[in-house]
């Protein structure tokens, strides 16, 4: 049997936003993935020069960026 460490059953939206704020990533973040070896992969909502969200078809345009560890 595999044993997992104690994990929370859920996190609040406020906790997630606080974690993003600590990383300086508030705003147009749609997704975030932490790889313990490579750093963060962040999915951002694409915005035009006036700050409007860009659409592709029926959904938002997404930009994926890699943020490596220092």
Tokens for 1, please give them: 């049997």
CB 44 within 8 A of CB 28: yes
CB 39 within 8 A of CB 67: yes
Q: What's the pLDDT score for residue 28?
A: 86
Q: What's the pLDDT score for residue 27?
A: 80
Q: What's the pLDDT score for residue 69?
A: 93
Q: Is 4 helix (H, G, I), strand (E, B) or coil?
A: coil
In the block, which residue shows the tokens 């609040």? 12
Q: What's the pLDDT score for residue 31?
A: 93
Per-residue pLDDT of the chain (70 residues; tens, 9 = 90+): 999 999 999 999 999 999 999 988 878 899 999 999 999 999 999 999 998 999 999 999 999 999 999 9
Q: What's the pLDDT score for residue 26?
A: 78
Strands 29-35 and 39-45: antiparallel
């Amino acid at each position: 049997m595999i044993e997992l460490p104690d994990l929370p059953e859920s996190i609040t939206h406020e906790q997630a936003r606080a974690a993003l704020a600590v990383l300086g990533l508030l705003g147009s973040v749609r997704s975030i993935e932490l790889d313990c070896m490579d750093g963060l992969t962040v999915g951002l909502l694409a915005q035009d020069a006036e700050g409007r969200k860009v659409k592709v078809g029926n959904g938002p345009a997404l930009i994926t960026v890699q943020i490596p560890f220092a």
